A and B are shown apart, each in its own frame.
Chain A
Amino acid sequence: MSIAARVFLFPALLLVGALVAGCGQEAKEKKPAGQGQTPIRIAVACPMTGSGAAFGEMIQAGAKLKAREVNAAGGIAGRKLELVVEDDRGDTSEATNVARKIASDKSICLVVGHFNSTCSNAAKDTYNRVGIVQFSPGSTNVDVCRGSPWTFRNLYRDDYQGTFQARYARNVLKLSKVAVFYDNDDYGKGLMQSFCEEAAKVGLEVVAREAYIRERTQDFKTPLIKVKALAPDGVFVSGLYNEAALIIKTARQDLGMNVVFMGGDGLANDTLVKIAGAAAEGTYITTPFLFNTGQDSPEAKEFFAKFKQAAGRDPDTWAALTYDAVGMAVGAIRAVGDDRARIKEWFAASTAPEKGYRGVTGLTYFDREGDCYSKPAYVARVKNGQFLPAEKQLLDIK
């Protein structure tokens, strides 16, 4: 091979790779417009790469299922619904870029996203400035909707979740000393704080608060050796599934820590079990929604079956919440058209149960900030590698 050939071969290979990747992007959700009319476009912003990628898969699958159903039923007033999926990598600066791109595209009338609280917080300034509804099916940080008139969500906040978990740990699991690991971003810190505040009130001692940084912290043995010496009877992880899996696995397998592991809804993904394996058994997580509770609504049962058929796997909480978010967005567009400002007015007016949207995950309506208080938290426990409803729920705290 001559030098010239070598010089050209490598870039050529890369180019082919890039083209293959590019084609994949282009093919996504492009459908011919119905009756020659322009399609209605909704953006879906979520992490498709990075440490939240598994969430992104479920979010996309949920959104696509809803879009397919809407289009199969004739679209929205004869116009096709088209999804514009954007990858924010779970990263704040990328979320801002994605937000600018979406906001400046006038054909997009609403954003379903972002997932990570830290991304929603980073992106909301752009959405507010330009004026486009940001509807998150996953961000639980307290500040996401605060002072942001264009931001809404269809799940609980972390102050609710954290309080709930501290009470569950103390009153149901009877723990007395816990160590907390938290992801050093908006979600991890916010949830950790509300957990610790409530823990102090219910008499649950927090013996350690260990921060870590997603993707950067790859080995948890050092903080776990420290935590083990403090002899807690529980470990609470306020972060996402990958790091939680490593913490649980290292603690159980390598250090033989026989304690109760708990975590927030950031752990609610099968990847937790795939990485931690048998060590994940018995882990408690809270989630805004859960299947197979024995009291599933007909909507939830129907969605479960449809999703399984379409995606070839069981749906999770995030697929269901995104399915509902797209459903509610479609409801808004049906009612007021695809004008960004009028969609916002419709959302802002959905402040009571009778004006809300009933979907798979229950009823969604908002308070004045755009927060959603109509859904409880469920407790799931890993059993035989699956998230199943824990024996004891705690649905009545307010």
Chain B
Amino acid sequence: MSEFVGHFFNALTLGAIYALIAVGYTMVYGVIKLINFAHGEIYMFGTFLGLMAVAGLGWHLGFAIILAMAGCAALGAAIDAVAYRPIRGSSRLAALITAIGVSLSLQTVAQLIWGANPRAFPTEGLPAFLLRPVLSVAGAELLGKELLVWVAALLVMLLLHLLVAYTRIGKAMRACAEDKVTAALMGIPVNRVIAVTFMIGSAMAAVAGVLYSLKAGGNISFRMGYYPGVIAFAAAVLGGIGNLKGAVLGGLLIGFTQALCGGYLASQYDFAFAFGLMIVVILFRPWGLLGRPESARA
């Protein structure tokens, strides 16, 4: 029982992190139909910024996360302005290749700045409650850092929902997702809306990066973004790419599959189980669990 509860807590933590990353993929896809393969690298930059703030400047983790979010928002907007906006009208394939190029470039830049050796958040520099158990169920403990992941993910998702559903910019985003040309004709500054979309998705990736690194105990290196990026992309596809609730659902499902199948079957195949689930779902619903078929969307 203790083991199961432990896996359950872990699954929820992993799922929340994947959901945070997946939302970034899905928002960008929803608005400009681009799979932003540089998203994993934005996640990586965010984690490094957080690490620099905590380890280098001695900041409190909370402020470090805010700095990482702000830095990544700026980076997201800059990437959009420099790499994606100039080729906005061209084919989706061109944008996709550009995204891969941006991803490789960011990895190289990160390696030049921070070197190739993996790093971790220094335990001494973090608030003490992160490593303390805050809840104990049937002998399985929930640590402060895991609770932080849940709370942060919930809070960020809630804010995002409010933003998209009830604000002017949220309305503009939905309009752009539906039909960019008509939105532009109605006087919506499409490019600015896209930039904001990138900024929000990137800030969420920063949160995910810092939290994942705290949860796993390290892994901060210039290549850290690749696998979480791929997993979160699968989560976004599974939930229905372009759909925010789908990304959250997909992230959680992948987190649970990975943790439970990894825990009870074979841990080295945890990725295979997660991707297997995605394949099964898209065999029957190619548009994902909560997505809409392409024809209905247009």
List the interface of chain A (C-beta within 8 A of B). 3, 6-7, 9-10, 14, 17-18, 20-21, 48-51, 53-54, 57, 184, 210-213, 215-223, 225-226, 228-229, 242, 245-246, 249-250, 253-254, 256, 271, 274-278
Contacts and interface: CB of A to CB of B under 8 A. Distances in A.
Interface stretch (B157-165, B192-200, B221-229, B242-250): B221-229
Contact of B119 (A216, A253, A256, A274): A274
A278 B271 CA distance: 31
Contacts, number: 121
Given A49-B116, A254-B131, A277-B123, A213 B268 contact: yes
Given A21-B112, A53-B116, A271-B117, A245 B86 contact: no
Max chain B C-beta neighbours (<10 A), residue from A211, A216, A254, A256: A254
B278 interface: no
B2 interface: yes
A218 B216 contact: yes
Contacts of B258: 222
Nearest to A47: B116
Contacts of B216: 218-221, 246, 250
Interface string B136-174: 000001010000000000000000000000000000000
Given A3-B86, A21-B112, A222 B105 contact: no
Main secondary structure of the interface of A (DSSP, over half): helix
Given A48-B116, A212-B267, A225 B223 contact: no
A275 B3 contact: no
A21 B82 CA distance: 22
A245 B259 CA distance: 21
Interface string B68-104: 0000000000000111011000000000000000000
Nearest to A54: B117
Interface in B205-227: 212, 215-219, 221, 223-224, 227
Contacts of A276: 120, 217
Interface stretch (B6-14, B34-42, B182-190, B285-293): B6-14
Contacts of A225: 3, 6-7, 10, 263
A51 to B, nearest CB: 7
Given A17-B108, A48-B116, A271-B117, A246 B218 contact: yes
B111 A226 contact: no
Give the 9 A-B CB pairs with smallest separation, nearest first: A53-B116, A211-B268, A223-B267, A219-B216, A249-B217, A49-B116, A10-B82, A225-B6, A222-B262
B134 interface: no
Main secondary structure of the interface of B (DSSP, over half): helix
Contacts of A54: 117
B122 interface: yes
A219 B218 contact: no
Interface residues of B, number: 48
Contact of A10 (B6, B83, B116): B83
Contact of B217 (A50, A216, A229, A245): A245
Contacts of A221: 10, 215-216
B118 A229 contact: no
24 contacts: A14-B108, A48-B116, A53-B115, A53-B117, A57-B117, A217-B268, A218-B227, A219-B14, A221-B215, A222-B7, A222-B263, A222-B270, A223-B262, A225-B10, A226-B3, A228-B6, A246-B216, A246-B217, A246-B219, A250-B216, A250-B217, A275-B120, A275-B217, A276-B217
